[in-house]
């Protein structure tokens, strides 16, 4: 199972104005893998994650998800291209730092929107799936509440359930705990650990070192638009190859609860 490629991205370039955010990044994610992306802010890690879901369209490169390839240098939104992009988005669910729940819908409605609108599941079946997922993230008793009534940790757990409801090949998580108080982080991280144990393929941008050490199969360190280092967690944390990673980790362990690190190189 571990050899099946879920994501295969090649030569991703992305520029915002004068700023070259991604400089030819290659990345493969195997089925069942949990990959953590770390790095200073401004290093391009969030942009890379968003490119995998094509929320950000790379200026050049290809993204292949389970055999479906989008060539990002093809501009414009021709029918075929738009269909391919949608196809890839359906297979790659996204969890955002600020949750982005739909505030006008209840918790359960949030979770079943994708299954109903995109996957076109029959309503009773979608509701059944939605309730099962809410049970899994421990929020079934909140099914009829609106997001405004939930704590940050609860909102993020709903967002994770909403992502899983798309039955994705991979879940992409963009700093899922960064806007949470330390007490609320634990409940979200617990849900993610549970997912990892069940073999869910995940790519997680995070600053949570202890969590990364525990669940990651592989850690990518990004700096200045490149993947600078790619290691198993044991090696990454105890014996990183580059001095850049060493100084980053030193800073992080001093300020683990304060993830904003100045980019120095």
**Should residue 196 be labelled a site residue for another protein when binding is judged by CB under 8 A?**
no
> Binding string, 49-68, against another protein, x = CB under 8 A?
----x-x-------------
Q: Which residue in the set 38, 96, 108, 175 belongs to the binding site for another protein (CB under 8 A)?
A: 96
For position 161 contacting another protein by CB under 8 A, the verdict is no
Does position 150 interact with another protein (CB under 8 A)? The reply is no
Binding residue for another protein, selected from 48, 72, 101, 107, defined by CB under 8 A: 101
Residue closer to another protein, measured from CB, 34 or 158: 158
Residues 104-133 that bind another protein (CB under 8 A): 104-106, 113-114, 117-118
Three-state secondary structure of the chain: CCCCEEEEEEEEEEEECCEEEEEEEEEEEECCCEEEEECCCCCCHHHHHHHHCCCCCCCEEEEEECCEEEECCCCCCCHHHHHHHHHHHHHEEEECCCCCCCCCCCHHHHHHHHHHHCCCCCHHHHHHHHHHHHHHCCCHHHCCCCHHHCCHHHHHHHHHHHHHCCCCCEEEEECCCCCCCHHHHHHHHHHHHHHHHCCCCEEEECCCHHHHHHHCCEEEEEECCEEEEEECHHHHHHCCCCHHHHHHHHHHHHCCCCCCCCCCC
249 binds another protein (CB under 8 A): no
Among 148, 183, 250, 254, binds another protein (CB under 8 A): 148
Judged by beta carbon, residue 118 or residue 263, the one nearer another protein is 118
Between residues 2 and 148, which has the closer beta carbon with respect to another protein? 148
Nearer to another protein, 27 or 84 (CB): 84
Interacting residues toward another protein by CB under 8 A:
53, 55, 86-87, 89-90, 92-94, 96, 98, 100-106, 113-114, 117-118, 146-148, 162, 166
């Amino acid at each position: 199972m571990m050899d099946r490629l879920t994501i295969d991205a090649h030569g991703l370039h992305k520029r915002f104005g004068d700023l070259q955010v991604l400089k030819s990044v290659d990345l493969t994610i195997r089925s069942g893998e949990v990959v953590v992306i770390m790095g200073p802010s401004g290093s391009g890690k969030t942009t890379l994650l968003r490119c995998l879901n094509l929320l950000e369209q790379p200026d050049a490169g290809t993204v292949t998800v389970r055999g479906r390839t989008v060539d990002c240098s093809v501009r414009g939104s021709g029918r075929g291209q738009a269909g391919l992009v949608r196809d890839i988005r359906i297979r790659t669910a996204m969890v955002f730092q600020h949750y982005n729940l739909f505030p006008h819908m209840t918790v359960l409605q949030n979770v079943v929107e994708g299954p109903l609108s995109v996957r076109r599941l029959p309503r009773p079946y979608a509701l059944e799936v939605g309730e099962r997922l809410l049970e899994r993230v421990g929020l079934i008793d909140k099914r009829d509440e609106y997001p405004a009534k939930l704590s940050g940790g609860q909102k993020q757990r709903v967002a994770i359930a909403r992502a899983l409801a798309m039955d994705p090949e991979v879940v992409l998580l963009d700093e899922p705990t960064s806007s949470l108080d330390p007490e609320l982080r634990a409940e979200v991280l617990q849900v993610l650990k549970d997912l990892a144990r069940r073999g869910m393929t995940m790519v997680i941008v995070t600053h949570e070192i202890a969590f990364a050490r525990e669940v990651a199969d592989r850690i990518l360190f990004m700096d200045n638009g490149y993947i600078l280092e790619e290691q198993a967690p044991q090696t990454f944390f105890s014996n990183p190859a580059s001095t850049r990673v060493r100084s980053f980790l030193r800073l992080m362990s001093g300020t683990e609860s304060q993830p904003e690190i100045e980019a120095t190189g």
